[in-house]
């Protein structure tokens, strides 16, 4: 299509994602006992060893793996690889105690501090932003039903061609990214456009694995959100659209039935409207 898409390479998106994933993440595990590090590292290695033994992995296969792992780093695709094939289980374990909203994985393309839009407004978009207009109304409550006035709803999503601002080149900064603040009743109203199904980059190391294994590279169309309120657990989720052919075979295994929206034609005949609210779990101290 345009030059924008010719330059939206895996290496470019990967480099941005790697750059944005700050190295200070190690601070959070500074007090981890050696015993736990040893246990986790040993179990992962044992799983690799047993795969090699069971399947009689050859030197050619070992060398291909080694070369491929090197290229994951060179292409900046560790964030993509981990978020697509590992994060969903971490999310499952981290949130299994919750009574409130289901969440799902964050993925590689969140950027904090998106422009503020108050309780109601339009996300930043280009004047000719392609895609069906979508008006989304909802309410943020605690598990006991109380409205969470002032709750933050951070939204980010791909455009109608599957590209994320700040990661694909040629898209204005903050395009389709915004922060909303729930009103006194916990309510918000978001105007955006429907995103497209998303194909993860196929020209880098992750794409090589997908092609070599005969998998597909698709995620269903999705809206990403982080919903937060004082005294409550941060909810990271994605919302999906009914009937998307990839809802049942998301490459990132991140779809849950509770996260599928039910949009309907807007009353003014212009695009679609949808209602979806969030229930946050109080923090346990
Ligand atoms: C995405 O947009 C995404 O949400 C995930 C989880 C992985 C790759 C791209
Ligand atoms: Fe995404």
Could you say which ligand is closest to the alpha carbon of residue 168? 1
- Looking from the CA of residue 254, the nearest atom of ligand 1 is 6
Mean residue pLDDT across the chain: 94
Query: What does the alpha-carbon distance between residue 191 and residue 157 come to, in Å, rounded to a whole number?
Result: 13
Q: Which of 79, 171, 198 to mutate to test the pocket of ligand 1 (most atoms within 8 A of CB)?
A: 198
- Of 216, 204, 205, 280, which is closest to residue 251 (Cα–Cα)? 216
Distance 158 CA to ligand 2 centre (A): 7
Please, are residues 129 and 192 in contact by the beta-carbon 8 Å criterion? no
| pLDDT of 145 | 97
Instruction: Write out the E strands in 113-234.
Output: 120-122, 133-142, 152-157, 177-181, 187-193, 198-199, 218-219, 222-228
Mutation test of ligand 1: which of 78, 108, 247 has the most ligand atoms closer than 8 Å to its C-beta? Answer: 108
pLDDT in tens, 136-185: 999 999 999 999 999 999 999 999 999 999 999 999 999 999 999 999 99
Residues 276 and 239 sit within 8 Å (Cβ to Cβ): yes
The more confident residue out of 199 and 7 is 199
Confidence of residue 21 (pLDDT cuts 50, 70, 90): confident
Which-ligand-closest: CA of 201? 1
Model pTM score: 0.92
In a mutational test of the pocket of ligand 1, which residue from 77, 79, 109 has the highest number of ligand atoms less than 8 Å from its CB? 109
Q: What's the gap in Å between 63 CA and the centre of ligand 1?
A: 29
Ligand 1: nearest atom to the Cα of 158: 2
Q: Could you give the CA distance from residue 272 to residue 193 in angstroms, rounded to a whole number? A: 9
Q: Which residues contact 142 (CB under 8 A, 6 or more apart)?
A: 100, 148, 229, 232, 279, 280, 281, 282
Classify 214 in phi/psi space as left (phi over 0), alpha (psi -120 to 50) or beta. left
Give the Å distance between the CA of 133 and the centre of ligand 1: 22
At 18, the pLDDT band (50, 70, 90 cuts) reads confident
Answer whether residue 52 shows pLDDT above 60.
Answer: yes
pLDDT digits 0-9 by tens, 64-98: 999 999 999 999 999 999 999 999 999 999 999 99
Read off the pLDDT of residues 182-217 as tens digits, 9 standing for 90 and up: 999 999 999 999 998 989 989 999 999 999 999 999
Q: How far apart are the CA of 112 and the centre of ligand 1, in A?
A: 16
Residues with CB under 6 A from ligand 1: 80, 83-84, 105, 107-109, 198, 200, 219, 252, 254
Distance 108 CA to ligand 1 centre (A): 6
Q: How far is the CA of 135 from the centre of ligand 1 (A)?
A: 23
pLDDT of residue 14: 72
Domains along the chain with CATH numbers = 2-280 (2.60.130.10)
């Amino acid at each position: 299509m345009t030059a924008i898409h010719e330059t939206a390479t895996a290496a470019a998106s990967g480099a941005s994602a790697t750059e944005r994933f700050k190295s200070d993440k190690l601070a959070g595990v500074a007090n981890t006992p050696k015993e736990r590090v040893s246990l986790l590292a040993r179990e992962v290695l044992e799983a690799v060893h047993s795969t090699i033994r069971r399947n009689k992995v050859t030197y050619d296969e070992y060398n291909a793996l080694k070369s491929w792992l090197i290229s994951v780093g060179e292409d900046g695709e560790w964030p993509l690889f981990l978020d697509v094939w590992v994060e969903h289980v971490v999310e499952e374990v981290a949130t299994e105690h919750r009574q409130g909203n289901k969440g799902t994985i964050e993925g590689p393309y969140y950027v904090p501090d998106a422009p503020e839009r108050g309780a109601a407004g339009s996300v930043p978009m280009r004047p000719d932003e392609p895609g069906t207009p979508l008006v989304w109304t909802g309410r943020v409550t605690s598990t006991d039903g109380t409205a969470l006035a002032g709750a933050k709803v951070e939204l980010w999503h791909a455009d109608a061609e599957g590209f994320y601002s700040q990661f694909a080149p040629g898209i204005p900064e903050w395009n389709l990214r915004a922060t909303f603040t729930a009103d006194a009743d916990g309510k918000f109203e978001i105007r955006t456009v429907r995103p497209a199904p998303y194909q993860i980059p196929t020209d880098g190391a992750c794409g090589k694995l997908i092609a070599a294994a005969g998998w597909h590279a698709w995620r269903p169309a999705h809206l990403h959100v982080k919903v937060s309120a004082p005294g409550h657990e941060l909810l990271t989720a994605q919302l999906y659209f009914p009937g998307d052919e990839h809802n049942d075979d998301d490459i990132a295994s991140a779809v849950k039935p509770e996260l599928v929206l039910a949009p309907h034609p807007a009353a003014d005949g212009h695009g679609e409207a949808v209602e979806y609210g969030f229930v946050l779990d109080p923090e346990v101290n």
